[in-house]
C-alpha cells in the first residue's frame, strides 16, 4: 500500500527516516520553512540536498508524482517540499516559478496571521484574498505549485477554493464539528473543498483533536467516516502534522517568527506554549499501521483505506504538480 503523510516537521535525522520507512511511509510532505525569507529558504533547500547525499539509501527527492511510485519500488521514502507560509516569495511574484523550479511543490498562503496574500486563522477580521493573493494563486496554478490553506481563515479559504482554477489542499487540519480549534474547518469549507476536487489531510496534532492527547483511535476514525460523508471518500487523506523531537525553540519560531516578542498562545491557552503529549496510538511514524487497522475496524473497505492512507494524495499530486501550458 502506498502511504503518504501530508505534513510533518520533525527533527530530521537518520533515526526519523528509519522510522518513516519502518512505518511503511512511501512519501512525506515536509515543511522546509515557516517565516524564512527567500535567502533563508535557499539555505533550507541546501540542507535537504545534504540529507539526500548522506541518507540516499533511505530517502529521495520527489519532483513529480511518478517519483512517489519510484520511491515505493525502491523501498525509499520520498520527500515532498512545502512551505507553511508565503514568506519565501517575499513581495515578488516571479519567485513562485523560481522556487517551483527548485522543487517547492506546496505553499500555504498564510500561517496564522494576515499575510500579503490572505488572512490567517488567528486574525479577528478576515478580508479574504488580497489583490496580490489572487495574482499568486493564478501563478501557482500556472507553474504547478499547490495552494495550501491549512492555517487560513474561513473567507480566505473559501475564496482560494473559488478563485483557484485547480483544486487546492488543506494538508493538515480537521473538521470543527470534531473539535473547535481556530485552524479546524467548517462544514461549509469541507463541502466546498470536496466539490472542487480538493483534498483534506487529517491532522493528528493533539491540540486539534477531541480530548487532545487522550483522543481515541475510535473517535478519530469516526471523524474520518463523518468527513467522508461530507466530502467524498476520494477527497480525504492523512496529514499528521507530526513535529517529532523538536526543541521548544522550534515551537517558538513557528508561533512567533520575528513578529512577536512574547509567546503567541494561538488558541488562547498557556498550555499551548509547550509541545503536547503524543497520542498513545500514534507516537511516531512507526505507528501508521495503527491508523490502517483502526479504519478497517471502523468498517472502511480495504480499497477505501488504501485511498485514505495514500492513493488520494497520489492522485491529487498527479494532477496538481503538472505545470499548465
pLDDT of residue 19: 98
pLDDT of residue 217: 98
Question: Residue 236 falls within a domain, yes or no?
Answer: yes
Say what the alpha-carbon torsion angle 176, 208, 158, 65 is, to the nearest 10 degrees. Answer: -130
On the question of pLDDT at 268 being above 80, the answer is no
Question: Residue 128 falls within a domain, yes or no?
Answer: no
The predicted-structure confidence for 206-235, as pLDDT tens digits, reads as follows 999 999 999 999 999 999 999 999 999 999
pLDDT of residue 53: 98
On the question of pLDDT at 84 being above 80, the answer is yes
Question: Residue 46 falls within a domain, yes or no?
Answer: yes
On the question of pLDDT at 265 being above 80, the answer is no
Rounded Cα–Cα distance for residues 117 and 136 (Å):
8
On the question of pLDDT at 111 being above 60, the answer is yes
Q: Are 30 and 9 in contact (CB under 8 A)?
A: yes
The enclosing domain of 199 has a CATH number of 3.20.20.140
**Number of domains within the chain:** 1
Rounded Cα–Cα distance for residues 135 and 138 (Å):
5
Helix-then-strand count for the chain, H and E: 12, 9
Q: In this structure, what are the phi and psi dihedrals at residue 141, rounded to the nearest 5 degrees?
A: -55, -45
What is the DSSP code (8-state) at residue 276?
A: P
Question: Residue 221 falls within a domain, yes or no?
Answer: yes
Rounded Cα–Cα distance for residues 309 and 292 (Å):
7
Helix (H) or strand (E) holding 199: strand 199-202
Parent domain of 10 = 4-82+170-295+303-320
237, with CB counted inside 10 A (0-12, 13-18, 19+), is: buried
Question: Residue 280 falls within a domain, yes or no?
Answer: yes
On the question of pLDDT at 267 being above 60, the answer is no
The predicted-structure confidence for 11-42, as pLDDT tens digits, reads as follows 999 999 999 999 999 999 999 999 999 999 99
Question: Residue 136 falls within a domain, yes or no?
Answer: no
The average confidence (pLDDT) of the chain is: 96
Task: Compute the C-alpha angle 145/147/148, nearest 5°.
Answer: 130
**pLDDT band, very low/low/confident/very high, at 272 (cuts 50, 70, 90):** low
Question: Quick one: average pLDDT of 127-132?
Answer: 98
Q: Which residues, in sequence order, are CB contacts of 37 under 8 Å at separation 6+? A: 87, 88, 90
Question: Residue 216 falls within a domain, yes or no?
Answer: yes
Q: Pick the residue with more confidence: 263 or 143? A: 143
Q: What pTM did the predictor assign?
A: 0.96
What is the DSSP code (8-state) at residue 283?
A: S
What percentage of the chain has pLDDT greater than the value 70?
A: 97
On the question of pLDDT at 271 being above 80, the answer is no
Question: Residue 151 falls within a domain, yes or no?
Answer: no
Helix (H) or strand (E) holding 27: strand 27-33
Q: Which residues, in sequence order, are CB contacts of 84 under 8 Å at separation 6+? A: 9, 31, 33, 34, 108, 111, 148, 150, 151, 254
Does the CA dihedral 176-181-182-184 come out positive or negative? negative
On the question of pLDDT at 269 being above 60, the answer is no
Amino acid at each position: 500500500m502506498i502511504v503518504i503523510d501530508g505534513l510533518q516537521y520533525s527533527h530530521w535525522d537518520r533515526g526519523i527516516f528509519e522510522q518513516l520507512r519502518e512505518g511503511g511511509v512511501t512519501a512525506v510532505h515536509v515543511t522546509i520553512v515557516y517565516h524564512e525569507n527567500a535567502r533563508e529558504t535557499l539555505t533550507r533547500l541546501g540542507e535537504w540536498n545534504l540529507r539526500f547525499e548522506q541518507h540516499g539509501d533511505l530517502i529521495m527527492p520527489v519532483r513529480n508524482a511518478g517519483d512517489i511510485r519510484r520511491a515505493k519500488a525502491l523501498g525509499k521514502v520520498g520527500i515532498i517540499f512545502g512551505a507553511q507560509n508565503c514568506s519565501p516569495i517575499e513581495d515578488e511574484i516571479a519567485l513562485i516559478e523560481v522556487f517551483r523550479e527548485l522543487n517547492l511543490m506546496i505553499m500555504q498562503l498564510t500561517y496564522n496571521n494576515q499575510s500579503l496574500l490572505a488572512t490567517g486563522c488567528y486574525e479577528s477580521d478576515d478580508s479574504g484574498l488580497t489583490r496580490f493573493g489572487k495574482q499568486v494563486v493564478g501563478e501557482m496554478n500556472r507553474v504547478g505549485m499547490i495552494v495550501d490553506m491549512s492555517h487560513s481563515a474561513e473567507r480566505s479559504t473559501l475564496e482560494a477554493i473559488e478563485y483557484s482554477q485547480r483544486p487546492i489542499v488543506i494538508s493538515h487540519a480537521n473538521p470543527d464539528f470534531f473539535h473547535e480549534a481556530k485552524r479546524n474547518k467548517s462544514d461549509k469549507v469541507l463541502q466546498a473543498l470536496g466539490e472542487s476536487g480538493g483534498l483534506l489531510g487529517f491532522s493528528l496534532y493533539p491540540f486539534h483533536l477531541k480530548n487532545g492527547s487522550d483522543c481515541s483511535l475510535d473517535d478519530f476514525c469516526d471523524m474520518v467516516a463523518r468527513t467522508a460523508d461530507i466530502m467524498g471518500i476520494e477527497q480525504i487523506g492523512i496529514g499528521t502534522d507530526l513535529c517529532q523531537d523538536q526543541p521548544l525553540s522550534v515551537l517558538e519560531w513557528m508561533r512567533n517568527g520575528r513578529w512577536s516578542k512574547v509567546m503567541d498562545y494561538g488558541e488562547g491557552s498557556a498550555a499551548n506554549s509547550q509541545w503536547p503529549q503524543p497520542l498513545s496510538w500514534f507516537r511516531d511514524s512507526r505507528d501508521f499501521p495503527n491508523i490502517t487497522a483502526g479504519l478497517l475496524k471502523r468498517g472502511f473497505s480495504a480499497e477505501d483505506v488504501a485511498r485514505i492512507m495514500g492513493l488520494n494524495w497520489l492522485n491529487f499530486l498527479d494532477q496538481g504538480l503538472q505545470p499548465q501550458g
